[in-house]
């Protein structure tokens, strides 16, 4: 026990845990992580709570914190970092992630290069917990990239010059706060706006009163009528909106296919597209898909979804939850291959423990750091 405690203190897990808000010590000490002495790879994890700079409002909920779990995967003196981000409405929590990660036994694997075998096994542990699974996937990719001495975009052969600008999300708020948020987003070339309320047009007009930058909109399933949705999209096109994400409820497949056919703007499925089989279902229903590591269990599946969507001539955007720079930097490794990116989750929080891929003048700029691109 003493050795284990020393290891946790050395690795920074206990010390940093004391700095995290909202986590009871007794909960933490019971669930701090599993170290299997016979394993060549050591997986450890800790709950952490992200503090948002602004209260974040969607069409369905508001919140000011997001629970995450940070993972570490060690092998041969090298450490990979990972993260599970779990907005409450998606059903995962500190407790569910800790429970899931406690079941992960990597002792059966010889080394971390067995990525497919390892992540197939992790996925098979249960049918749920996509974010907890992603935290293992990201740490494993970080570890393997570091062992190979290359960032993943290079391992995959992607061209770092092809990364898109990222949008910056302006949450639903009062007119004055919205104007303030637009000012704070000066560096960004594309703004993303959350719609799906009575005040949709007012929100767009408020932004248009202070900037003419391109806007993308995310309705988060908020429009229930296809004719209303089409009228809105026609209006939005005149306001220099570039695409519409998840305009209607995810179950309304036929209406959505009708809308996409008539829409003057590309439509993207987000809530309706979680994992690989959903890409095929989205074909002919949406113009494109929004890939997020936390929905699809991590980089391994995200890269397969990207390849599949492109082969179906669908557009691809990369999205995120509120996350630290760990998961954002991981997702950014795929950025050279997508048309649109919405990787601003780390910029919305005030207690990011990591540094990774940077946004410079609104553009995603990949670095040379091996693995997922973290510098700390
Ligand atoms: Mg969305």
DSSP string, 61-93: -EEEEEEEEEEEEEETTEEEEEEEE--GGGS--
- Beta-carbon contacts of 243 under 8 Å, excluding residues fewer than 6 positions away, are 216, 217, 265, 266, 267, 268, 287, 288, 315, 317, 340
Neighbours of ion ligand 1 (CB under 5 A): 218, 245, 270
Say yes or no: 115 and 240 in one domain: no
What range defines the domain where residue 16 resides? Answer: 2-149
Instruction: Provide the pLDDT for residue 171.
Output: 80
Instruction: Provide the pLDDT for residue 31.
Output: 43
Say yes or no: 83 and 109 in one domain: yes
Number of structural domains, the chain?
A: 2
Residue 337 within any structural domain of the chain: yes
Say yes or no: 124 and 263 in one domain: no
- Euclidean distance between CA atoms 94 and 99, whole angstroms: 8
Say yes or no: 166 and 297 in one domain: yes
Distance 247 CA to ligand 1 centre (A): 9
Distance 59 CA to ligand 1 centre (A): 11
The CATH number for 272's domain is 3.20.20.120
Instruction: Calculate the alpha carbon distances from 210 to 15, 81, 183, 204, 368 in Å.
Output: 45, 40, 8, 10, 37
Distance 248 CA to ligand 1 centre (A): 11
Residue at which a domain ends, from 149, 169, 192? 149
Among 10-19, 47-56, 212-221, 301-310, which is the least confidently predicted range? 10-19
Say yes or no: 132 and 167 in one domain: no
Among 59-63, 157-161, 280-284, which is the least confidently predicted range? 59-63
Say yes or no: 144 and 161 in one domain: no
Angle at 117 (CA atoms; ends 116, 118), nearest 5 degrees: 95
Residue 24 has pLDDT above 60, yes or no: no
Both tokens assigned to 368:
């040379």
Residue 375 within any structural domain of the chain: no
pLDDT band at 89 (very low <50, low <70, confident <90, very high): confident
Residue 117 within any structural domain of the chain: yes
Task: Let me know: does 318 contact 338? Beta carbons within 8 Å.
Answer: yes
Cα torsion through 308, 311, 312, 318, rounded to 10: 50
Residue 14 within any structural domain of the chain: yes
Residue at which a domain ends, from 103, 129, 149? 149
Say yes or no: 333 and 251 in one domain: yes
Say yes or no: 144 and 168 in one domain: no
Per-residue pLDDT, averaged over 23-51, amounts to 65
Per-residue pLDDT, averaged over 237-257, amounts to 98
Distance 320 CA to ligand 1 centre (A): 8
Residue 170 has pLDDT above 90, yes or no: no
Distance 245 CA to ligand 1 centre (A): 6
Residue 39 within any structural domain of the chain: yes
pLDDT band at 33 (very low <50, low <70, confident <90, very high): low
The CATH number for 48's domain is 3.30.390.10
Both tokens assigned to 376:
């700390």
Residue 376 within any structural domain of the chain: no
Q: What is the pLDDT of residues 257-270, one digit of tens each?
A: 999 999 999 999 99
% the chain with pLDDT above 70? 88
Residue 372 within any structural domain of the chain: no
Distance 340 CA to ligand 1 centre (A): 13
- Euclidean distance between CA atoms 274 and 263, whole angstroms: 23
Distance 358 CA to ligand 1 centre (A): 22
pLDDT band at 77 (very low <50, low <70, confident <90, very high): very high
Residue 23 has pLDDT above 70, yes or no: no
Cα torsion through 21, 27, 28, 33, rounded to 10: -140
Distance 282 CA to ligand 1 centre (A): 15
pLDDT band at 60 (very low <50, low <70, confident <90, very high): low
Closest CA to 259 of 244, 270, 271: 244
Residue 371 within any structural domain of the chain: no
Among 1-15, 120-134, 207-221, 342-356, which is the least confidently predicted range? 1-15
Task: Let me know: does 111 contact 47? Beta carbons within 8 Å.
Answer: no
Say yes or no: 211 and 270 in one domain: yes
Query: Within the chain, where are the H helices?
Result: 2-10, 13-17, 25-30, 94-103, 115-124, 130-148, 152-155, 175-184, 200-208, 226-238, 253-262, 276-282, 293-296, 299-311, 325-332
% the chain with pLDDT above 90? 80
Confidence (pTM): 0.88
Distance 222 CA to ligand 1 centre (A): 11
Residue at which a domain ends, from 149, 177, 202? 149
Both tokens assigned to 281:
């279902």
Task: Let me know: does 333 contact 369? Beta carbons within 8 Å.
Answer: no
Distance 291 CA to ligand 1 centre (A): 10
With H, G, I as helix, E, B as strand and everything else as coil, classify residue 153: helix
Per-residue pLDDT, averaged over 261-283, amounts to 98
Distance 269 CA to ligand 1 centre (A): 8
- Beta-carbon contacts of 71 under 8 Å, excluding residues fewer than 6 positions away, are 43, 44, 45, 81, 82, 83, 84, 101, 135, 136, 138, 139
Distance 219 CA to ligand 1 centre (A): 7
Distance 342 CA to ligand 1 centre (A): 9
Say yes or no: 314 and 201 in one domain: yes
- Beta-carbon contacts of 276 under 8 Å, excluding residues fewer than 6 positions away, are 296, 301, 304, 305, 308
Say yes or no: 182 and 125 in one domain: no
Say yes or no: 133 and 166 in one domain: no
């Amino acid at each position: 026990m003493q050795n284990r405690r020393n290891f946790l203190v050395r690795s920074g897990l206990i010390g940093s845990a004391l700095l995290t808000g909202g986590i009871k010590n007794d909960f933490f000490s019971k669930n701090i992580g599993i170290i299997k002495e016979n394993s060549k790879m050591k997986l450890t994890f800790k709950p952490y709570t992200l503090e948002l700079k602004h209260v974040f409002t969607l069409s369905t909920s508001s919140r000011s914190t997001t629970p995450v779990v940070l993972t570490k995967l060690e092998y041969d003196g090298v450490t990979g970092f990972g993260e599970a981000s779990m907005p409450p409405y998606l059903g995962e929590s500190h407790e569910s992630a800790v429970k899931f990660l406690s079941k992960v036994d990597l002792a059966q694997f010889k080394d971390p290069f067995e990525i497919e075998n390892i992540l197939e096994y992790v996925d098979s542990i249960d049918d749920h917990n996509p974010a907890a699974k992603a935290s293992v996937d990201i740490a494993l990719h970080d570890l393997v990239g570091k062992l190979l001495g290359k960032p993943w975009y290079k391992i995959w052969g992607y061209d770092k010059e092809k990364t898109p600008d990222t949008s910056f999300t302006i949450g639903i708020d009062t007119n004055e706060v919205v104007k303030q948020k637009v000012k704070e987003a000066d560096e960004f070339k594309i703004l993303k706006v959350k719609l799906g309320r009575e005040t949709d047009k007012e929100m767009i007009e408020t932004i248009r009163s202070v900037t003419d930058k391109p806007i993308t909109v995310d309705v988060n399933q908020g429009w229930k009528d296809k004719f209303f949705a089409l009228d809105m999209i026609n209006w939005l096109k005149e306001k220099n909106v570039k695409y519409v994400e998840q305009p209607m409820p995810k179950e309304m497949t036929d209406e959505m296919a009708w809308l996409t056919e008539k829409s003057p703007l590309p439509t993207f499925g987000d809530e309706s597209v979680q994992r690989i089989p959903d890409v095929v279902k989205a074909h002919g229903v949406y113009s494109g898909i929004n890939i997020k590591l936390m929905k699809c269990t991590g980089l391994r599946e995200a890269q397969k979804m990207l390849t599949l969507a492109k082969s179906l001539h669908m557009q691809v955007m990369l999205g995120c939850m509120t996350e630290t720079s760990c998961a954002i930097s991981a997702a950014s490794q795929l950025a050279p291959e997508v048309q649109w990116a919405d990787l601003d989750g780390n910029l919305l929080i005030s207690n990011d423990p990591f540094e990774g891929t940077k946004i410079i003048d609104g553009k995603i700029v990949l670095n040379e750091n091996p693995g997922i691109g973290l510098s700390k």
